[in-house]
Amino acid sequence: MKKLLFVLTVFYYSIVFISCQKELNFQDVITKTPGTSGGSAKYAFSQTNGTCSATIVKGTYNKGTTLNSLNTLEIRVNVDSVGTYSIATANINGILFGGSGTFTKTGEQSIILNGIGTPSASGSYAYLPGSQGCSFIISFSANATNDMIAQFTLNGTPDSCTTPIITGDYILGTSLDSSNTVIIKATVTTAGTYTIASNAINGIIFIASGTFIAAGQQTIILKGSGRPAEVGNFTFTPGTNGCKFNINCTTN
């Protein structure tokens, strides 16, 4: 009887330990996939126990269906000091959320993040806006299409991008527009959809999303958004472990 009681006790605590390990591992997955953030403003995400508060998710999210302008996320933040901001999540399941702008007042307010990319799988995934953000969940249905996720390498990786073409002016305090782009090259091994975001630094970020229709050498146009917060030369890295390019922000 004592032996049976001992075995049952060990079994019980083993189950508890495994359950705790699963919970810890899940939390590790969340905390180890932060996004990127930049800008001059000081703010914090409104949250409860790490979950973003009063988040409004718009649009439909289906496996294999490319997101459009209707796929947005409204999120609450508490602003301590006004200034520019640039926020993006990590690229998870083939998509990411990003946005930039200027806080003109302090206090709690909403910001809009736009979703881009093509979901590669069904299921629910956690996203963290910014480098120290809260988390929100996006659920994807299994309404699959024939879209495939591209496999490629940015030319020049992991060093400087090969002959990047930088267009537009990058002026302190002036919002970027459609003229602010960076053209880079990629070597594609498998055609399909792609989504790329750079690190957010000095209040700006570069993002691209589209489809490679063939393998081989292809062009990617990264579109800049945000507003430079400081003067200087800043290094951006598109994608995960991608190549690098520099943007020189000036006073005029």
**Residues 203 and 131 reside in one and the same domain:** no
**Residues 40 and 133 reside in one and the same domain:** yes
Is residue 1 situated within a structural domain?
no
pLDDT at residue 51 greater than cutoff 60: yes
**Residues 196-249 pLDDT 10s:** 888 888 888 898 888 888 899 999 999 998 888 899 999 999 987 789 999 999
**Residues 222 and 132 reside in one and the same domain:** no
Domain ends where: 96, 117, 140? Answer: 140
Would you place residue 95 in the very low, low, confident or very high pLDDT band (cuts 50, 70, 90)? very high
Three-state SS letters, the chain: CHHHHHHHHHHHHHHHHHHHHHHHHHHHHHHCCCCEEECCCEEEECEECCEECCCEEECCCECCCCCCCCCEEEEEEEEEECEEEEEECCCECCEEEEEEEEECCCEEEEEEEEEEECCCCCEEEEECCCCCCCEEEEEEECCCCCCCECEEEECCCCCECCCCEEECCCECCCCCCCCCEEEEEEEEEECEEEEEECCCECCEEEEEEEEECCCEEEEEEEEEEECCCCCEEEEECCCCCCCEEEEEEECC
User: What local confidence, expressed as pLDDT, does residue 4 receive?
Assistant: 41
Amino acid letter, residue 195: T
**Residues 79 and 128 reside in one and the same domain:** yes
Task: Please give the backbone phi and psi of residue 71, each rounded to the nearest 5 degrees, phi first.
Answer: -90, 90
| Cα–Cα distance measured from residue 61 to residue 70, given in angstroms and rounded to the nearest whole number | 10
pLDDT at residue 27 greater than cutoff 80: no
**Residues 159 and 87 reside in one and the same domain:** no
**Residues 127 and 41 reside in one and the same domain:** yes
Mean pLDDT of 14-29: 32
**Residues 160 and 238 reside in one and the same domain:** yes
Is residue 11 situated within a structural domain?
no
Counting the structural domains of the chain, the total is: 2
Q: Which two tokens stand for residue 117?
A: 């990319």
**Residues 141-175 pLDDT 10s:** 887 655 677 899 999 999 999 999 999 999 998 88
Residues shown for the chain: 252
**Residues 40 and 127 reside in one and the same domain:** yes
Domain ends where: 140, 166, 186? Answer: 140
User: What local confidence, expressed as pLDDT, does residue 147 receive?
Assistant: 60
Task: Please give the backbone phi and psi of residue 239, each rounded to the nearest 5 degrees, phi first.
Answer: 75, -175
Lowest model confidence (mean pLDDT) among 86-90, 141-145, 181-185, 239-243: 141-145
Domain ends where: 121, 140, 159? Answer: 140
- CATH number of the domain residue 164 falls in: 2.60.40
Average pLDDT, the chain: 83
DSSP-assigned letter for residue 122: -
Is residue 74 situated within a structural domain?
yes
Mean pLDDT of 74-79: 94
| Residue 87 belongs to domain spanning | 36-140
Is residue 119 situated within a structural domain?
yes
User: What local confidence, expressed as pLDDT, does residue 142 receive?
Assistant: 85
pLDDT at residue 54 greater than cutoff 50: yes
